[in-house]
Structure 1
């Protein structure tokens, strides 16, 4: 029974490469021609030349052997080349498709899988899945051909001896079935354990400063050891089962050789078969049973690889962000929440939430866990509302094309999300077609240009992974510069002045003050001292909300 996820994978990615696979199968057969024909040539050499003294055939037999060897070698080259190329093409296509699904999937879907696990699925599991149609299935095909052809040749040489020698096949079949099913279960557990290690490493390496300041090195080491112990246990079980299967296959492989020597030897002695025929049987027995032994291992590999298809399909089945093809037209920049409900893990964060944000400065303040950041993410449609509506100038965002919605919104997170590249590259993602002068102008506006000029390579200075080479204030200025460069009518800021120095906070607030007349700016903050008088304020409390209180009435929730 073929797994549903395997069928899906074949139809989506492999079907269009059918001709290439057929060519690989054909070249595989050509590669085997030398091993199929050479024993017959050896038989003729022994019986007709060495025993029968027909020396005129000697040169032709030698030329035949050389010719078949060259033909098989050339076929082997093209077979290996096409297989390798197809493997790389599929790796690019499948991993690219899986990556794109993750990029366009709803945030709620992607957060169900840990980052490290996601990485192993996109690359590691993709390679495992590709190996089945590109390498394992052709190997199965070659093994089957290598079994069938020698089988009929041996039957034609001596029917009785052929059936005697082939009797151990049933032992290989039983071994493959038993070990294949067992390896499939072990491999599923192995993939999950492997993914958990990647997730742990991704998490741990990103919080090394936290580990150091809390003296958690031993605690972290113990957690790593626990993960490695699980990995060791699963891997040892896999190795033990695989070794047992391989050993048993080798043991079974010796049975037909013993049968050939025993029964075939007596037939040569009593004249039932010629010495050349016995020599051919010796070669064909090896040719026949080697692929059977390999087939046992290949079948085990096939069964153990199947869980990779399930893990990939879980990603490919992720819900894509929805939205019809309507374009968003922003005039006044007014955003309204009408009876909005939203929950995390069945716990409601917003319960019939109503609010209006207008052009100018809007503030969201309140206790932790009241949904301040969630409101910004809902405006960006990172999460779908469960009930109610969010409208921009009267247009329901659920009916807006996603690109159009995001094109009119900029969001600056409390974590500015810098990637490993240059300062210029990190600035330019706000507008990918921006010129160098545009980027430089924005940097001056947010007051980070002077700092950039002091760095070793100025705008071409590397910021390091997660912007590790920059201070928190410098990173937030870069994030703000992206939003300014994008020049969207709506700007969302999620506690961007939290944990940054006084000068950076002042510079960011000055830029916000310059933009407030032209744009709808919504700021999530804990600091009531940053709230401008006469601005629109939404104060959230647990299970309630109070709209537009005076700044002096709002508790200072953070320094």
Structure 2
């Protein structure tokens, strides 16, 4: 690892380990639905809010909310605690039966037959008590798992439902992995706590109290001596637990770093090979892996010594109790059976203390995970539609109760910024007549995609208005607005399922005939027919069994089937070759027919036939006109088109 400087090592550990993870950092163009990588222009800061473990900020508030979910099965909870109580008391009571059994065996006044009879009776009583305890344990586990799983299902459903209601801004400022960790790591830790920890805590407390009571009943002198060892147990257990928790947090951070680096390296494997970065990647991974090894060693060491250390301390207590108990048997008429069960209780006295101390890490991890889940649930959803919001529909496809629109879109003095201190768009004025094709060109970060975000109301504008057929989009129901705007993006996304289902995603009530018609409009019908199962071919891994051009054609077909009067094409052909681009453009030409279309393109050859080309620079319109008019101006567009300057 000699090729990596100390500064690089520190940067790697800070970046991938989630230390000092920053908040969102938008680039000039702001975020957008274009698959930007975290940390790049327009994307959020890397590992925003990365998982780090530790204590929750508001433990009592989290516990209260968790119990609200458990309370849905509140009728079962008392029965669970009754079973835990029965199981714990059975364990304690079964051991106490040994006292009369042993005393009977060592009583010289009783005959062998009486001793045998009492021994058999004692064994049967103990077997009955332990059988009751076993049944109680079984019922407690079965019921508690059902209660916890019901709670987890509801939490998971509420979290997923909230994700669907969150604005695009939330998804633009949080990595996919961070959101996924809420559903996996965080909910798993909550599930572990709900499954076992609550019942273990109650069982441990009952066992501890019951043990103390029985020790005092058996011999109060030995009980006091045993209890005097508790401070040492608590101090040592607390110290080890504190160290274990500290290193456990470090282990989780280091594990997140390794996982993050592996994910990034696998997805970027081609780039690594192209730039001969394999050796450096290995060295960087070894650094992160070695950091994980060191932290795992310390975490596992302190976690592993808890049991043996506490066990040895309990053995010391056991030895002291046995020694003094033996002396009491000789000098104070203390019975042998009492000494036997007391030494047994003395040995198990530290067990619930050990278990409770070892549960602290699990509880804190679960509460911290639950807090992260609830943080997402507490995020502000999209602003609700006003009471007087209207529903719109295409004139060609009227809908009862909806206002029919032709597709005129007007932007009036629109000013917007993703953050208050950075204005992305400045006084934008655009008028798109029904059926017109409006193109936006300009450097990266000029604000092209931001305009389409605002038309969809993914973000709310700060100043100005956006009107559709004279209706302010703020007075149109969001669902209705987006249902009348079809989008074809640079990065296609296909869902698991058949080709037919992916096309129908644009309008779920579409018939098979309409699916085929949309595919023909998109110029996709011919290649679909050549697939092994035609329209019933199952797509793999986001359409991995299709070419990039074929995936884009399906994306166009999905937009075609929506029947939306307004269409947005955002770099729809930038990631394909020229021949495939021509094939896709044929489909898009059919798609754009009779629709108001907004086109964002870096390849200026694709926008020559637009009714209006708008040139944006630093959020302002610097030129607008037809292709011929802009060339005649010999300005910015002329420079871009002729190659005098290049797009950033």
* Fold shared by both chains (TM-score > 0.5): yes
- Structure 1: state its 5+ residue gaps: none
Q: Could you say which residue in structure 2 is the equivalent of 1:336?
A: 410
Q: Could you say which residue in structure 2 is the equivalent of 1:39?
A: 95
Q: Could you say which residue in structure 2 is the equivalent of 1:108?
A: 169
**Distance between the aligned counterparts of 1:536 and 1:26, measured in 2?**
76
Give 1:449 deviation, angstroms. 1.6
Q: Which whole-Å deviations, capped at 9, do the CAs of 1:57-82 have from their partners, x for residues lacking one?
A: 44432321221122222222222222
Give 1:399 deviation, angstroms. 4.2
Q: Do structure 1's residue 267 and structure 2's residue 328 form an aligned pair?
A: yes
Give the 5 Å matches for 1:61-76: 61-76=122-137
Q: Is the 8 A contact 2:255 2:292 kept in 1?
A: yes
Q: Label 1:453 to 1:494 Cα distance change in 2 as closer, same or farther (>3 A).
A: same
Q: Name whichever of 431-440 and 33-42 sits farther off.
A: 431-440
Give 1:482 deviation, angstroms. 0.6
**Distance between the aligned counterparts of 1:181 and 1:516, measured in 2?**
65
Give the 5 Å matches for 1:157-556: 157-324=218-385, 326-330=389-393, 331-344=405-418, 346-360=421-435, 361-533=437-609, 535-546=611-622, 548-552=624-628, 553=631, 554=637, 555-556=640-641
**Distance between the aligned counterparts of 1:339 and 1:184, measured in 2?**
56
Give the 5 Å matches for 1:97-176: 97-176=158-237
141, 156, 167: which is aligned to 1:80?
141
Give 1:503 deviation, angstroms. 4.6
Q: Is the 8 A contact 1:180 1:304 kept in 2?
A: no
**Distance between the aligned counterparts of 2:65 and 2:241, measured in 1?**
21
Q: Label 1:212 to 1:418 Cα distance change in 2 as closer, same or farther (>3 A).
A: farther
Aligned length: 559
Q: Which whole-Å deviations, capped at 9, do the CAs of 1:467-520 have from their partners, x for residues lacking one?
A: 222222111100001111122222111011213244543343333333445322
**Distance between the aligned counterparts of 1:420 and 1:77, measured in 2?**
40
Q: Name whichever of 211-220 and 465-474 sits farther off.
A: 211-220
Q: What SS does the corresponding residue of 1:521 show, helix, strand or coil?
A: strand
**Distance between the aligned counterparts of 1:193 and 1:118, measured in 2?**
19
Q: Which whole-Å deviations, capped at 9, do the CAs of 1:353-398 have from their partners, x for residues lacking one?
A: 2222332212111122101112112222223334433332333334
Give 1:118 deviation, angstroms. 2.4
Q: Could you say which residue in structure 1 is the equivalent of 2:74?
A: 18
Q: Is the 8 A contact 2:408 2:433 kept in 1?
A: yes
Give 1:234 deviation, angstroms. 3.1
- Structure 2: state its 5+ residue gaps: 1-56, 394-404, 632-636
Q: Which whole-Å deviations, capped at 9, do the CAs of 1:411-455 have from their partners, x for residues lacking one?
A: 111011123443233222212333333322221221212112222
Q: Which whole-Å deviations, capped at 9, do the CAs of 1:124-153 have from their partners, x for residues lacking one?
A: 111112333442222111111001012111
Give 1:164 deviation, angstroms. 0.9
TM-score w.r.t. the length of structure 2 is 0.79
Q: Label 1:188 to 1:293 Cα distance change in 2 as closer, same or farther (>3 A).
A: closer
**Distance between the aligned counterparts of 2:254 and 2:408, measured in 1?**
49
**Distance between the aligned counterparts of 2:357 and 2:363, measured in 1?**
10
Q: Which whole-Å deviations, capped at 9, do the CAs of 1:526-545 have from their partners, x for residues lacking one?
A: 22322254613222123531
Q: Name whichever of 517-526 and 194-203 sits farther off.
A: 194-203
Q: Which whole-Å deviations, capped at 9, do the CAs of 1:287-343 have from their partners, x for residues lacking one?
A: 322112222212243234443234323322323122315233251222222333333
**Distance between the aligned counterparts of 2:250 and 2:378, measured in 1?**
21
**Distance between the aligned counterparts of 1:434 and 1:252, measured in 2?**
72
